[in-house]
Amino acid sequence: MTRLRELRLAAVEDRIAAELALGAHRDLVPELRDLVAEHPCGSGCAPS
């Protein structure tokens, strides 16, 4: 993954965390569904 993509994804993750903290759970479901489809392993599956 390119550095720019990594930075973009980190920014999206931070924004989503903030929106969840504000209680926007239901509003985030479609976006989270799309993100999981694009990145099924998330950051936990990166090769070591």
How many domains does the chain divide into?
Answer: 1
Instruction: Give residue 48's pLDDT band: very low, low, confident or very high (50, 70, 90).
Output: very low
Which value, to the nearest 10 degrees, does the dihedral of the CA atoms of residues 40, 44, 21, 19 take? -40
The rounded distance, in Å, linking the Cα atoms of 38 and 48 is: 21
The rounded distance, in Å, linking the Cα atoms of 21 and 41 is: 23
Full-model pTM: 0.75
Contacts for 20 with CB less than 8 Å, ≥ 6 apart: 28
Q: In which region does residue 42 sit, left (phi positive, over 0), alpha (psi from -120 to 50) or beta (all else)?
A: left
Model confidence pLDDT, tens digit, residues 7-44: 998 999 999 999 999 999 999 999 999 999 988 886 65
Domain limits for position 12: 3-45
